[in-house]
Amino acid sequence: MIEAIIFDNDGTLYRVKSSFQKAVHTKFCEVISQKLNVNLAEAGRIQAYLHNKYGSTGAGVVKEFGWDYNSFVKETYLAVPIEKYVGRNQHLIEMLKKMPQKKIVVTNNPSRFAKKILNRLGVARYFEKIFGEEHFDFRMKPKIMPYRLALKYLSNSDPRNIMMIEDSSNNLKTARKLGMRAYHINQAGDLSRLKYGN
């Protein structure tokens, strides 16, 4: 029987609009440009290099330049006017209400960014914990660290009694290897076909 469900956020609980991604990327480049005193084109090249090398821009600026992570998140992710891109999802609210299991979120983005999105969706209250990239030292899914952290939080429950819901097949492979049940979501925010009985 499923006792707990681990959710991804982006692409799973909501559809990520390309305009939203572009807005976040623009903030990255603006901050990098200002701090390193380079033009936006060069800032874009630096951002791409950091993301490719470290798995995320946040990890990159910390490890490459020693910047303060929380300040970077505030100046970039949290500075995007999220209300333009994410709105309340009543269908998702109703689906989560009906799910008695313990629910947490594990995302490769900053946890504060995820919390802001969940608040906009109207579903933050249904998740008792959000783990972001900063909690697992930027060792992002599908690496094993985020999964281990989630299992530890869930009191090392039997993985067979835990389900992971993701839009990434790659990330679900690790969940399966650990013995979890895996559900690949095809339409972000739609849990209507989810089955989690015995």
CATH annotation of 4-16+87-184? 3.40.50.1000
101-154 pLDDT per residue, tens: 999 999 999 999 999 999 999 999 999 999 999 999 999 999 999 999 999 999
26-43 pLDDT per residue, tens: 999 999 999 999 999 999
Determine contact, residues 30/40, Cβ cutoff 8 Å. yes
CATH class of 18-82: mainly alpha
Give the CB-side neighbour count of residue 183, counting CA atoms within 13 A: 22
Determine contact, residues 7/103, Cβ cutoff 8 Å. yes
**pLDDT band at residue 192 using 50, 70 and 90 as cut-offs:** confident
Q: Where are the domains of the chain?
A: 4-16+87-184, 18-82
What is residue 198's predicted lDDT score, i.e. its pLDDT? 45
